[in-house]
Structure 1
Amino acid sequence: MRPKSYRATMLSLLPFAVMAVVTVADLAVGPAVVFLPLVSLGPAFAPLVGSWRRTAAVGGVALLLCAALGWYNGLLYTPRGWMSIASVLGVTGAGLLAVSLRQEREVELDHVRSIAETAQRALLRPVPRTTGGVRMAVCYMSAVAEARIGGDLYEVVTSPHGVRVIVGDVQGKGLEAVETAAVVLGTFREACLNEVDLAAVGSRLERAVERQLDDEKFVTAVLAEVADEEVTFLNYGHPAPLLMSGDGTLTWPEPDSYALPLGLGAHNASPPKPYRAGFLSGDDLLLYTDGLTEARDAEGRFYPLAERAHLLKGRDPEAALRALRQDLLQHISGPLQDDTALLMLRHS
């Protein structure tokens, strides 16, 4: 059973369990100790889950139980008995009001989620399965429960100059990180179609991010352009991609010297220089964010991507990323601590 469904089941049973415990205790101890007022705990917990009908039903059961225990204890027609019944009625009424307010908030939350999901789909669009002789797949895992986007980003653009991709990681989290990701992706999509040179695409990104960010914030990113049997990279302080040749040999294409991330151009650092690697038929290229390689297990060990690279070989790109994702989750044995984006390209 999934944790959320298990929790919902436990909360739905809680009012009845409380009333059962109160009843057993009252019958076991007898009239000497009166547990009658505690019956109202049942309808007090009822609004946590379910509809107003369920809350009203729990209140009805509690009222009958209160009357029965009051009769058993000889308190049914005494002031204490009447006060216990009034307590059950009052708590039930408050519970019905609480359910009404909770359902209104849930409706509002559903609307917000619907709008957010629409924005997320527009921001992180599905990548094409095949373009320009390259098969590809993407996997995005957010560290925030039920979120589909955070500070990591990816995009694939088929341009007149080749298949161009980007994978990046925005410093920070929350709405501000999403806004920055939107700026990066929008600029990348436009620049890929207008700029002949990949370095010019990077320059456009640098200017856009500098206008968007301040306070020493930045975006690490790696850009790649696949044309014929070669891939050109432009790296802005991002983890090196993993390139697996058809025979299983692993390489990590890196620049001679790493450039600063996007947004830190004010430090007068040199822009990154393009560098190239062969990308032949049957080769696999994995671009990722540091949420993958910096994921730790219970003993603090980082995820060993080089040792797990065999999970990518021989599988359809989508199946390969599913296998890698499952292995990553087994490694950490818990929730992700950072967003993770994976983009896999296979030269067909």
Structure 2
Amino acid sequence: MRFTLPPGPPVTFKALLHDARTATSIGRWLGLAMAVCFATGVLSHYLQHPPGWLADRLPSRPYWGYRFTQGLHVASGIAAVPLLLAKLWAVCPRLFAWPPVRSLRHALERLSVAVLVAAALFELFAGLLNTFQWYPWPFNFVPVHYAVAWLLLGSLLLHLAVQWPRIRDHFTRRSPGTLALPAADGPDRRQLLLGVGAAVGAVTLTTVGQSVSVLGPLELFGPRSPAHGLQGLPVNRTAAAAGVTEASLADWRLTVAGPQPFTLALAELRAMPQHEVTLPIACVEGWSKSAHWSGVRVRDLLERAGGDPRSRARVVSLEQAGAYRLMEMGRLYAQDPLTLLALRLNGEVLSLDHGYPARIIAPNRPGVLQTKWVGRLEVV
């Protein structure tokens, strides 16, 4: 079936770099960045929202695991932005081809490309705004970002299937358009690719310092510098934002629920055996930093309440509202000796913004699950 459309004014692109070989050269690096970003993003989602069957299988080691994977997620997403823009530039003549639809098959192909481009633009730029904790939209970012990621994956696989002959020709060096450009047409393909590579390197090196401490001095455009913050750590959610005040903590006691429930005042918690660990806070926005923590092992509290080595933990915060006010911790996390109900940070009593009087610190966990202002701990 063919559609007949009236002729329209042609749009002319003279540069020879708008060709299949250039688009494929950039596309393979874009595909790699998007694949890394997708895989680490799905991992982050399941660490934050594990289904019941997975909760007790999520590993607590390596303790730096989430710091690495989430830093890689944000870095690959930022690197994909200039790659996506360069890819769209290389293929833009096809976006203005006339007639826009030549057949039903061509219409479906263009529709799949439209979905792919829209999903990619949304994922990268919405994710970039998330690193700044800026949400200029009415929907919940996390579930929408996760759903569109799967839509992007499906449209990308369909696009790769349609474009496979061109991709195959690229790798077998049989595609046209390999001649160098005349001087009047500007830089040649190699210079273009070097320029795109330089742009990717620049945006990566000037932002990745928020999660890679050794590159901290190069961080010029990162949305958050881990080098600055109260008690040596940045604060995402303040006590004021959570509705927690010093007055509301005047008669604070920790409730530990289980077969043998009990409560503890702060002085009693401090009198228990204290353990020290060095663990990172790694936030979903990409920044992370290690700190020295001391407090009571969660597994000791669960055991005293009648738990056993198979027990999970449920933690309830004193904050008045919030998506992570209630947090569940799988068995491997709850029983890990590195998991603490922390009372001190970097040698000082926790500040109110860092979760005074007690907060959770556990290995290989997103920062949103390191619950602050803990009021109740339950054996599950």
Same fold by TM-score greater than 0.5:
no
Q: Which has the higher strand share?
A: 1
Whose Rg is larger?
Answer: 1
Flag the structure with more relative contact order, 1 or 2, with Cα contacts below 8 A and sequence separation at least 6.
2
Please give the TM-score of this superposition, normalised by the length of structure 2: 0.25
